[in-house]
Amino acid sequence: MDWGRAKNVLILTFLLLNILLGYQLWGDIREQLNANKNTAELPPETLTIMKQKRIELDATLPLDTPKLRDLTYQLQNGGSDRQDTVQLKMPVDSRIIFTEKDLLNQLGGQIPDLAQYRFDLLMSTDQVFVLYKMVDNHPMFDVRLELYYSNQKITAYKQMRVEVLGSGEAKEQTVLPASKAVAPFIERNLPNGSIIRDIQLGYHGQTFDTDTQVSAPYWRVVLEDGLVYYIHAISGEVAQDKEHAAEKSS
């Protein structure tokens, strides 16, 4: 037996093993650091309940607390349930959705006000890209633009268009920090084993059978299983998105 060669093989094996163990250790440390970063703003009692209920926060808590007011807007095409699906004259590569500049270049001439909408990966599916209308850099969660695609081509779209009206008597108010809005929601509303994927500030409201609607500031919370909750960013009241709940149960 060539002991010198065997010795080199053993040294190399131990070296590779140490590298593997070091990588795994770094991954565990990084995961723990991310977890601490995500939950750092939550009170200790909430963290205790999360541990008891096996709830995970796989999203960074936003730190911004802007002053926002209710929005009044008017529907321009009859409401979400009366929109027409429009076929594109020339299908375009679906990869453009991931680059805002390419999206505008390819579809800006075919889809009205496209620059006012922003892509939302979490709400998109394997057949539909979902974009929301933006107001002061915040999404209106009830005002969607849907891009339909198949075979890696965007072929059609359905768009809800609105005109945001004057604020009227609505007053600006500082929104609840995400940590204060989410803490009681975690403690009271989330079932065991829930995983929070995303927390985002935007506008949401009940939809009425009228051309004029009102939308209030809300924190949107998206879970791993697809359920969507809205937490009023001023009062802290919680509402569940019935549409996504129905989709999950069907």
Residue ranges covered by each domain of the chain: 1-39, 41-69+167-249, 75-164
What phi and psi values does residue 57 have, to the nearest 5 degrees?
-110, 95
Q: Dump pLDDT digits (tens) for 9-33.
A: 555 565 655 555 555 544 543 444 4
Query: What is the pLDDT, as a whole number, of residue 36?
Result: 45
| For range 224-245, the mean pLDDT | 85
Of the candidate ranges 49-53, 69-73, 166-170, the one whose mean pLDDT is the lowest: 166-170
Query: CA 143 to CA 116: how far, in whole Å?
Result: 11
pLDDT at 17: 57
Q: Residue 233: its pLDDT value, please?
A: 96
Place of tokens 């394997």: 126
Pairing of strands 195-204, 56-57: parallel
pLDDT above 80: residue 189: yes
Question: What is the C-alpha separation between 43 and 34, in angstroms, rounded?
Answer: 17
**pLDDT above 60: residue 192:** yes
Comparing CA positions, the residue from 225, 226, 227 lying closest to residue 239 is: 227
What DSSP line would sit under 54-75, residue for residue?
Answer: T-EE-SPPP----EE--EEEEE
Contact of 202 with 123, CB cutoff 8 Å = no
Instruction: For 75-164, give the CATH class.
Output: alpha beta
Per-residue pLDDT band at 41 (split at 50, 70, 90): confident
3-state secondary structure of 241: coil
Q: How many Cα atoms sit within 13 Å of 2 on the Cβ side?
A: 5
Question: DSSP class of residue 223?
Answer: E
Q: What are the beta bridge partners of residue 150?
A: 153
Fold of 41-69+167-249: Lipocalin (2.40.128)
Concatenated DSSP letters of 177-191: PHHHHHHHHHHHTPP
What DSSP designation does 79 have?
Answer: -
Q: Distance between CA atoms of 100 and 145, rounded to whole angstroms?
A: 14
How far is the C-alpha of 24 from the C-alpha of 194, rounded, in Å?
26
d(CA 242, CA 103): 31
DSSP 91-147: EEEGGGGG-HHHHHHHHTTTSTTGGGEEEETTT--SSEEEEEEEETTEEEEEEEEEE
